[in-house]
């Protein structure tokens, strides 16, 4: 009966149950065997429970910490900042938040590989830990970004801590396989006070201040102040970055087309058009590129935009060739410096051309002279790659830089667009006329076609003709209009305008605009 009761108790989960061992014979064997089995089951259960608790603790730690550095991660950091905001709003104390971004991390990562980048982050983590108080929170927020929450810390003390962190990183030298790197750090500092409203507001302020520090030359501290003009501009750009991302997701980018026309006979059999970027806002209004491209460049959104533009251009060229199989077309699109610097852009362009089944020479990639000046070696590699793909290449905004003729000699394009700031003044300025004539003559010697931009009056048109420029683009001929509309109503290749004639710009179903 005792054995039977013990077995029932064990079945109910009572693993510590035992029976007295006072019997003899076979019952004694059963009693000892039961107690041994119960003891082993209890030990196994306790061991399993320990392992479960240990694994649970590990998972909880991993959920709150960064695996590479062992620091608190972004989620846990934001939770602690949120608590600090609540304490400050209650009026109990003030805190400070530092947002740190390493200045030269990308160079180490790109030149030495990710293993070097990881080791740099671990060493920087060790340094930062030596300067942070025990009650403060040091976190890795992602990539090469760190956060420091200084609890119960006034402004003067926060500035001293931030300066100590900055100076320590500045003096640090990272060594990898015999190479020595100077790193540096930009720090955005924001106070958490009774006036602080929310976690997103505090983090956004710190981020704005950090990037303002980078804009001012890097390796410095920027204190966030709500009325700081530069930070107000930064906030506006951050808002634009979010709007651009949403517009990309909702397919609210669109292309406008403006033709390039011959200024003198003979007319070309090829239709040449430049495609210009626009964006629709949330209400369907047209937003010009000058309103959002600066933000797109700052927040590294240009490569995504450039890919959209190239894809849309290739699709449009295919539609044109399907509609007019006996005609030829060249569609020009601008590419940003960020895309020129990335090795993935050229293969992607080639893939788009192949997918659209268009002649490579029907796509012209325009690169501004300013982009070439930022990184001439990368631009040269990119242009050589374009030649291999079969695309045409054009220099945009040409003539406004000091090294224009050097670029023309070393990177001979198919076309050059003479900068509009020079062309607009050609009728009144001897210097502009001289520059246009020199550019056009140099282009002619190299077999390059020169195009005058911003032809907006008959006087400019006449002056361009006088300097021998054969092609032009501007509102005098036609204002930009939606690419889809241009594809549906594309005229045959344009004839050169008669000097002094009035231009009547009319399209089927639309109103004409007379310019004389």
Are 150 and 18 within one domain? no
Check residue 142 and give its pLDDT: 86
- Distance CA(439)–CA(451), nearest Å, equals 10
H/E/C letters for each residue in 95-145? EEEEEEEECCHHHHHHHHCHHHHHHHHHHHHHHHHCCCCCCCEEEEEECCE
Least confident of 23-27, 126-130, 329-333, 428-432: 23-27
| Co-location of 51 and 127 in the same domain | no
Whether residue 311 is found in the same domain as residue 418: yes
The two tokens of residue 405 are 């003729």
Whole-prediction pTM: 0.59
**Looking at the predicted structure, is the pLDDT value of residue 119 above 90?**
yes
Greater model confidence, 223 or 268: 223
Q: Decide if 290 is inside a domain.
A: yes
Q: Which residues of 91-112 are buried (b: 16+ CB within 10 A; e: fewer)?
A: eeebbbbbbbbbbbbeebbeeb
Task: For the chain, give the mean pLDDT.
Answer: 85
Same domain assignment for residues 7 and 103:
no
Do 358 and 478 lie in a common domain?
A: yes
Cβ contact 134:189 at 8 Å: no
Rounded distance between C-alpha atoms, residue 516 and residue 257, angstroms: 22
**Most confident among 55-69, 452-466, 477-491 (mean pLDDT):** 452-466
Q: Is 179 helix (H, G, I), strand (E, B) or coil?
A: strand
Mean pLDDT of 268-277: 88
Residues 269 and 176 in one domain: no
Q: What confidence score (pLDDT) does residue 58 get?
A: 61
Alpha carbon distance 235, 242 (integer Å): 11
Least confident of 8-17, 87-96, 200-209: 8-17
**pLDDT 10s digits, 397-410:** 888 765 556 677 77
For residue 436, pLDDT over 80 is answered with: yes
Same domain flag for 375 and 437 = yes
Residue 121, pLDDT > 50, answer yes
pLDDT in the model for residue 16: 82
Q: Kindly state the tokens that stand for 501.
A: 């004639």
Q: For 297-354, how does the pLDDT look when each residue is reduced to its tens digit (9 = 90+)?
A: 877 899 999 999 999 999 999 999 999 888 899 999 999 988 887 788 999 999 999 9
In a domain, 231, yes or no: no
Q: List phi, psi (to 5°) of 375.
A: -155, 90
Residues 338 and 396 in one domain: yes
Same domain, 466 and 337: yes
Identify the active-site residue in 144, 207, 396, 419.
144
407-431 pLDDT, tens digit each: 777 777 899 999 998 999 998 889 9
- Give the whole-angstrom CA distance, residue 117 versus residue 299: 22
Nearest by Cα to 331 from 275, 267, 389, 388: 275
Domain boundary among 196, 226, 256: 226
In the predicted structure, residue 61 carries a pLDDT above the cut 70: no
Domain boundaries, position 454? 238-515
**What is the number of domains present in the chain?**
3
Choose the weakest-confidence range: 59-73, 76-90, 429-443: 59-73
What integer pLDDT is reported at residue 233 of this predicted model?
A: 63
- 281 plus 328 within the same structural domain: yes
Q: Looking at 214-339, which runs of residues are DSSP E strands?
A: 221-223, 253-262, 270-280, 286-287, 328-334
Does the residue 233 lie in any domain? Answer: no
Mean pLDDT of 66-85: 91
According to the model, what pLDDT value does residue 394 have? 93
Q: Which of 204, 226, 248 is the last residue of a domain?
A: 226
Q: Are residues 244 and 371 in the same domain?
A: yes
pLDDT score at 364: 97
The CATH number covering residue 97 comes to 3.30.70.270
Query: Stretch 41-46: mean pLDDT, rounded?
Result: 80
pLDDT tens across 320-329, in order? 999 988 889 9
Residue 479 lies in a domain: yes
Report pLDDT digits (tens) over 473-514: 999 999 999 999 999 886 666 556 655 443 433 333 333 332
Residues 313 and 405 occupy one common structural domain: yes
The residue-averaged pLDDT of 42-57 equals 73
Banded pLDDT at 160 (limits 50, 70, 90):
very high
Sheet strands (E) in 339-448: 363-368, 392-398, 415-418
Residue with more model confidence, 21 or 210: 210
Examine residue 69 and state whether it is found in any structural domain, yes or no.
Answer: no
Whether residue 232 lies inside any domain: the answer is: no
Q: Which of 64, 91, 117 is the last residue of a domain?
A: 64
Q: Note the pLDDT tens digit of each residue in 211-258.
A: 888 878 889 999 988 666 666 566 566 678 888 999 999 999 999 999
Q: Is 144 assigned a catalytic role?
A: yes
Q: What is the mean pLDDT of residues 288-304?
A: 86
Task: Round the CA-based radius of gyration of the chain to a whole number and report it.
Answer: 34
Q: Residue 263's closest CA among 493, 505, 464?
A: 464
3-class DSSP state for residue 289? Answer: helix
* Domain of residue 362, CATH code: 3.20.20.450
> Distance between the two ends of the chain, CA-based, in angstroms?
117
In a domain, 313, yes or no: yes
CA 9 to chain centre: 66
Query: Residue 153 — pLDDT band, cuts 50, 70, 90?
Result: very high
Whether 369 is covered by a domain: the verdict is yes
Higher pLDDT, residue 377 or 62: 377
Q: How many Å apart are CA 99 and CA 71, to the nearest integer?
A: 15
Q: Check whether 87 has a pLDDT greater than 90.
A: yes
């Amino acid at each position: 009966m005792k054995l039977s009761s013990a077995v029932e108790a064990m079945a109910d989960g009572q693993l510590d149950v035992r029976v007295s061992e006072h019997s003899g014979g076979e019952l004694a064997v059963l009693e000892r065997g039961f107690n041994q089995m119960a003891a082993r089951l209890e030990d196994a259960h306790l061991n399993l429970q320990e392992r479960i608790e240990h694994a649970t603790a590990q998972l909880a730690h991993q959920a709150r910490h960064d695996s590479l550095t062992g620091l608190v991660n972004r989620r846990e950091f934001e939770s602690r900042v949120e608590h600090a905001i609540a304490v400050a709003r209650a009026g109990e104390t003030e805190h400070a938040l530092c947002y740190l971004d390493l200045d030269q991390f990308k160079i180490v990562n790109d030149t030495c590989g990710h293993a070097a980048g990881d080791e740099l982050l671990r060493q920087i983590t060790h340094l930062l830990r030596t300067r942070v108080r025990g009650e403060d929170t040091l976190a890795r927020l992602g990539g090469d970004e760190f956060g420091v929450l200084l609890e119960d810390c006034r402004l003067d003390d926060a500035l001293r801590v931030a300066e100590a962190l900055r100076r320590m990183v500045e003096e640090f030298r990272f060594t990898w396989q015999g190479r020595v790197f100077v790193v540096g750090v930009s720090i955005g500092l924001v106070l958490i006070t009774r006036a602080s409203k929310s976690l997103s507001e505090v983090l956004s302020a710190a981020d704005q201040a950090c990037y303002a520090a980078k804009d001012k030359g890097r390796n410095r501290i920027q204190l966030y102040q709500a009325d700081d003009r530069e930070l107000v501009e930064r906030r506006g750009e951050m808002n634009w970055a979010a709007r651009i991302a949403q517009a990309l997701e909702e397919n609210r980018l669109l292309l406008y087309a403006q033709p390039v026309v011959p200024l003198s006979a003979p007319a070309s059999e090829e239709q040449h058009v430049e495609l210009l970027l626009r964006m629709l806002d949330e209400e369907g209004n047209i937003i010009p590129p000058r309103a959002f491209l600066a933000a797109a460049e700052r927040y590294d959104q240009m490569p995504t935009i450039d890919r959209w533009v190239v894809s849309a251009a290739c699709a449009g060229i295919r539609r044109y060739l399907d509609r007019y199989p006996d005609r030829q077309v060249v569609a020009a699109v601008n590419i940003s410096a960020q895309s020129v610097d990335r090795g993935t852009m050229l293969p992607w362009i080639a893939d788009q051309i192949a997918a659209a089944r268009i002649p490579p020479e029907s796509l012209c990639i325009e690169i501004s002279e300013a982009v070439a000046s930022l990184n001439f070696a990368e631009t040269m590699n990119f242009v050589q790659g374009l030649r291999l793909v079969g695309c045409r290449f054009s220099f945009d905004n040409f003539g406004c830089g000091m090294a224009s003729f050097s670029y023309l000699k070393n990177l001979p394009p198919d076309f050059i667009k003479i900068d509009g700031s020079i062309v607009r003044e050609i009728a009144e300025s001897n210097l502009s006329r001289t520059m246009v004539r020199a550019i056009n003559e140099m282009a002619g010697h190299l077999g390059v076609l020169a195009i005058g931009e911003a032809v907006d009056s008959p006087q400019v048109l006449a002056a361009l003709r006088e300097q021998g420029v054969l092609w032009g683009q501007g509102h005098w001929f036609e204002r930009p209009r939606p690419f889809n509309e241009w594809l549906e109503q594309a005229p045959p290749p344009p004839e050169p305008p008669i000097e002094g004639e009035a231009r009547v710009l009319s399209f089927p179903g639309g109103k004409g605009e007379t310019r004389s």
